[in-house]
Amino acid sequence: MSKYYCPYCNSKYQFKSISNTGKLLCGLCGEEMIKKSFINMKQIISLTIVITFVLPLFYTLVLSIINKKDFKKEIYQSYNTVSIGSFNLSKI
């Protein structure tokens, strides 16, 4: 359902009444109610700005978690090759 508001009255004290033509009127001042859009331009711009800043942070977090697992495997493999190499050198 669409929301309507009176641009002249305080939103706390507004109540709707219907005119003879079927239009919604403000109960306090008698002006015609204006339809409020679901999303306005300020909300679209602010959402774009928030996504611009948050998406790279989320991306780096995910990549750091993925690379952390690979990094642990590389350290373990390099540790094994060093120990095997030092073991072989000590026998010779």
pLDDT tens readout for residues 37-46? 788 899 999 9
Instruction: Give the model's confidence band at 1: pLDDT under 50 very low, under 70 low, under 90 confident, else very high.
Output: very low
Confidence at residue 44, expressed as pLDDT on a 0 to 100 scale: 94
Which stretches within the chain are classed as H helix?
A: 41-91
Rounded Cα distance between 33 and 17, Å, is: 9
Residue 87: pLDDT over 80? no
Sequence ranges of the domains in the chain? 3-36, 39-92
Q: Tell me the per-residue pLDDT of 30-86, one tens digit each, with 9 for 90 and over.
A: 788 888 878 889 999 999 999 999 999 999 998 888 877 666 666 556 555 555 545
> Average pLDDT of 7-32?
78
- In this predicted structure, what is the pLDDT of residue 79? 55
Angle at CA of residue 37, ends 35 and 40, nearest 5° = 140
